[in-house]
Amino acid sequence: MRLLLMLLILSFQNHLHVEGTETESERDALISFKSQVSHPTNSLSSWTASANSSYCTWYGVSCSKNTMNGARSRVESLSLPGLSLSGKLSYQLSHLTYLRSLDLSNNKFEGQVPLHFARLSRLELINLATNNLSGRLPAGLGLLKHLQVMDFSLNDLTGEVPNSFGNLSSLIYLALARNQFFGQNPIELCNLHNLNSFQLSENNLNGQFPTCIFNISSLEFISVTYNNLSGRLLQDVGHTLPNLKSLFLARNRFQGEIPSSVSNASKLEDLDLSNNQFHGFIPLFANMNNLTRINLGNNNLSSTTTLNYQLFDSLRDSTQLIELRIYSNQMAGQLPTIVTNISRNLQHFCFADNFLTGSIP
């Protein structure tokens, strides 16, 4: 998913050019931003107030290409990731009204996300991940109808996830993981029909997880681990998520049976449903040749000798499997001898704390 994010960032920046005249309001906005920022590596040393200095040549700034004589170049991208910048985010960045990409990730910014950022109506990417931001996310960000990438992960943000984010119909990548968000996941997020990645893990979210999220067929990555969420998987989840590659629901309170339709998610690579309250028989994984990790540990799943054979037989073509964990469940019966025939790449095999009998093959 990080690779996807980097590719999206690059796609926004590659077509930007430096030409033409500039606007004083944009220069002032950038100088105001610099005045509130500490830059220990002198990465902003090229940013000077001199009229002879074109801000379109400043480090991290990219401007639009002129299409008409006399047209002004406008700032379309501000990209300053990983520079140990610290301070507060200047609301005057909202004066960069042609901004399409804002990447200030992996720095030490603190304070709140300015309400005025909702004025950046052309914004397609905002990445403020891995900072020290706090407070609530402005609901006005839900007005950014062109936004495709939103990443606020690894901060100290709090409050509820704004319902207005359900209006971001162009959104592809949503990452709010490792913050202090609380309350329920807004059902409005089910309106994000173009979503590819949904990351809300390691927060304080609770209540019923909206099952309609499992109907967003474009999703490839879902992670809501380490919350206090409850709910059930849709019976046809393997059909409704045909593009799914990673499903991480661990450390919550999900319950019900794991649907047999999960085997229809043939692109699935990582499945972690551990530390929940799933019950019933362990599903089979036939035709899932891309699987690398399965973790169903610490649930209430059951089996018999016959079902154990069927389980391992269903994994015979999962030759990429490196991890299989079904510890702390209600498995019974014996392990079949074909257990020795599963993936040669297997590194982790854990079935401890069950009710299995017989010898280990």
Q: What is the pLDDT confidence band of residue 65, given thresholds at 50, 70 and 90?
A: confident
Give whole-number Cα distances, 114 to 30, 132, 184, 297, in Å.
15, 14, 24, 42
Dist. CA 293–CA 273, nearest whole Å? 11
- What are the tokens at 105? 């990730």
* pLDDT at site 14: 45
Dist. CA 107–CA 110, nearest whole Å? 9
- What are the tokens at 19? 């030409």
At 291 the three-state DSSP class reads: coil
* pLDDT at site 360: 84
Average pLDDT over residues 19-28: 71
Give whole-number Cα distances, 273 to 2, 153, 289, 300, in Å.
22, 22, 19, 12
* pLDDT at site 71: 58
Query: Minimal CA–CA distance to 194: which of 174, 175, 215, 170?
Result: 170
* pLDDT at site 299: 98
Average pLDDT over residues 57-83: 84
- What are the tokens at 317? 């073509």
Q: What is the pLDDT confidence band of residue 3, given thresholds at 50, 70 and 90?
A: low
Q: Report whether pLDDT(11) > 80.
A: no
Average pLDDT over residues 268-296: 97
Average pLDDT over residues 333-350: 94
* pLDDT at site 4: 56
* pLDDT at site 73: 84
Q: Please name the residues in contact with 299: beta carbons below 8 A apart, sequence gap of 6 or more.
A: 273, 274, 275, 276, 277, 278, 279, 328, 329
What distance lies between CA 44 and its chain's CA centroid? 30
Average pLDDT over residues 221-238: 97
Q: What is the pLDDT confidence band of residue 5, given thresholds at 50, 70 and 90?
A: low
- What are the tokens at 147? 């936004």
* pLDDT at site 251: 98
What's the Rg (C-alpha) of the chain? 24
Listed by start position, the domains of the chain span 2-357
| Element spanning 175, H or E | strand 173-175
Q: What is the pLDDT confidence band of residue 22, given thresholds at 50, 70 and 90?
A: low
Average pLDDT over residues 176-190: 98
Q: Report whether pLDDT(10) > 70.
A: no
- What are the tokens at 179? 């913050």
Average pLDDT over residues 249-271: 97
DSSP H helices, the chain, are: 2-13, 24-35, 237-240, 305-314
Half-sphere exposure at residue 347, Cβ-oriented, CA atoms within 13 angstroms: 4
Average pLDDT over residues 136-164: 98
Give whole-number Cα distances, 162 to 85, 174, 176, in Å.
28, 13, 12
CB 139 within 8 A of CB 116: no
* pLDDT at site 15: 42
Place of tokens 């079949």: 336
Q: Report whether pLDDT(283) > 90.
A: yes
Percent of the chain with pLDDT over 90: 86
* pLDDT at site 7: 53
Average pLDDT over residues 336-341: 92
DSSP for 15-76, written as a single string: T----SB--HHHHHHHHHHHHTEE-TT-TTTT----TTS-GGGSTTEEEPPP-STTPBP-EE
Average pLDDT over residues 129-155: 98
For the chain, the distance separating the N- and C-terminal CA atoms, rounded to the nearest angstrom, is 38
Q: What is the pLDDT confidence band of residue 31, given thresholds at 50, 70 and 90?
A: very high
* pLDDT at site 199: 98
- Choosing among 3.80.10.10, 3.40.50.300, 3.90.1300.10, 1.10.600.10, the CATH entry for 2-357 is 3.80.10.10
